[in-house]
Amino acid sequence: MPDPIPPVVDADTLARLQADREVVLADVRWSLDGSEGEATYLAGHLPGAVFVDLATILSGPGAPTDGRHPLPDAARFAAGLGGLGIGEDVTVVAYDQSGGASAGRLVWLLRVLGQPAALLDGGLRAWRGPLEPGAARRLPVTRQVVPWPAARFADADEVARLARDPAAVVVDARAAARYRGEVEPIDPRAGHVPGAVNVPVDDNLAADGRLHDEDALLARWQPTGVFAADEVVAYCGSGVNAALDLLVLEHLGRPGMLYVGSWSGWSADPDRPAATGTEPG
């Protein structure tokens, strides 16, 4: 296994990594409205980057209460990445059209398995070189099936418990209007998990899509209590965007858990309560 790397790297660090080891670039562009994905990848991507599909490789089937993007089982994940030529013996640097709201899912999943992986800070916009059209091909490999580490994931019951625990912090990574329950464009009900605090993923990013500097990130996260908490879990709409919050927390020295079902799974269960407004509730 290659040496570990930070959860976020800039373009200069990527170039140094490529000179030192085998790096696989992963394009994980995706958007809720379908405007980003394989079609935009084929139109132009970082040279040599393979397309990792969020729906078929980074998600699996499940019940409505499992959310819109359930966790793929370990065999599905290994087969999907192996088919793209991404073995466990390479370093992965992933990007999307912005600052990592979709690519963060791949990076976080690889990191919890112990594989060196990082976001390209700023995503596609940070790339200074030419783009390559068409599909990049790598020889398929057989990737070892590694079980997901249970300690890095929380289910709805655990989230409910942690949200009531003063020594824990549950983070809602969605936009503020969705957290407050003012709008809900896709999930069954509006609102948030009672007790959750709101740190929208976009608040981690500057206007150019890069992460804010560490001082600014600390100022944003410090009031939430995550650095003093015994346990931290993050969720979003479907367990995708929240991975970026978790990578930022790891960057700041505070790893956390992911609630994969997230609000889509929670709100699909009529027995789960919902809070609205600006306060955790």
Q: In this structure, are 25 and 102 located in the same domain? A: yes
Residue 18 lies inside a defined structural domain of this protein: yes
Are 127 and 46 contacting, i.e. CB atoms less than 8 angstroms apart? Answer: yes
Alpha carbons 37 and 156: distance in angstroms, whole number: 29
pLDDT in tens, 33-88: 889 999 999 999 999 999 999 999 999 999 999 999 999 999 999 999 999 999 99
Residue 131 lies inside a defined structural domain of this protein: no
pTM here is 0.96
The CATH number assigned to the domain holding 183 equals 3.40.250.10
Residue 145 lies inside a defined structural domain of this protein: no
Q: In this structure, are 121 and 161 located in the same domain? A: no
Question: Which one is catalytic: 25, 236, 240, 257?
Answer: 236
| pLDDT grade for 167, boundaries at 50, 70 and 90 | very high
Q: Which domain holds residue 154?
A: 150-267
pLDDT in tens, 95-138: 999 889 999 999 999 999 999 999 999 999 989 889 999 999 99
Q: How many domains does the chain have?
A: 2
Q: In this structure, are 205 and 248 located in the same domain? A: yes
Residue 88 lies inside a defined structural domain of this protein: yes
**Residue 197, both tokens:** 């605090």
Residue 144 lies inside a defined structural domain of this protein: no
pLDDT at 281: 84
Per the annotation, the verdict on 236 as an active-site residue is yes
Q: In this structure, are 194 and 244 located in the same domain? A: yes
Q: In this structure, are 167 and 262 located in the same domain? A: yes
pLDDT in tens, 207-266: 999 999 999 999 999 999 999 999 999 999 999 999 999 999 999 999 999 999 999 999
